[in-house]
Amino acid sequence: MAGPVAPNYDNVLWPGGDGLRIPQEVAPATLAVTKLQSINVGGAGTTNTVNLTAAQSQGSEYVITNAGSGTTTINWPANLVPVVFCVYNNSGQATSLEVATANAITGPANGKRALFVLEATVIIRLTSDV
């Protein structure tokens, strides 16, 4: 006689190319945009560096619009709670993301999105542009 069957904790598979498995203890789960931050850079004649406030820096999605000329830099303050976020660059220019004016990385190209994680003093890219 066979013994008990171990539970299948990976029984929830979301659709998609890679799928996302959620352990049974967590499912059903809801993932939501907790805070949308619209960043209007200001257009021609403006500086292309935006320093986020502590409140702005805890967004889960950032939409960058209306850049001047040249690369737009979005600067997060240092030593914040880690957060995963999406950036949609609709600014008309290239983007750069940095923490406390250091450790700059390339953001998504104009018209593209990408996922990132903020870890205290660095931003790490999780996906390529989509």
Q: Are 117 and 83 in contact (CB under 8 A)?
A: yes
Ramachandran region of residue 70, left (φ > 0), alpha (ψ -120 to 50) or beta?
left
Amino acid at residue number 91: S
- CATH architecture group of domain 31-125: Sandwich (2.60)
> Would you say 75 and 100 are in contact if contact means Cβ atoms under 8 Å apart?
yes
pLDDT by position in tens, the chain (length 130): 555 555 444 444 445 445 544 444 444 545 555 788 888 888 776 778 899 888 888 788 999 999 888 888 999 988 777 888 899 999 999 999 999 888 889 999 999 999 998 887 889 999 999 9
Token code pair at residue 96: 């750069």
**What letter does residue 77 receive in the DSSP assignment?**
P
Query: Domain extents for the chain?
Result: 31-125
Distance (Å, rounded) from C-alpha 116 to C-alpha 120?
13
What SS3 class is residue 51?
strand
> What is the model's pLDDT at position 1?
55
| Structure tokens, 39 | 């960043």
How confident is the model at residue 32, as a pLDDT? 54
CA distance 59 to 35: 5
Predicted pLDDT of residue 24: 47
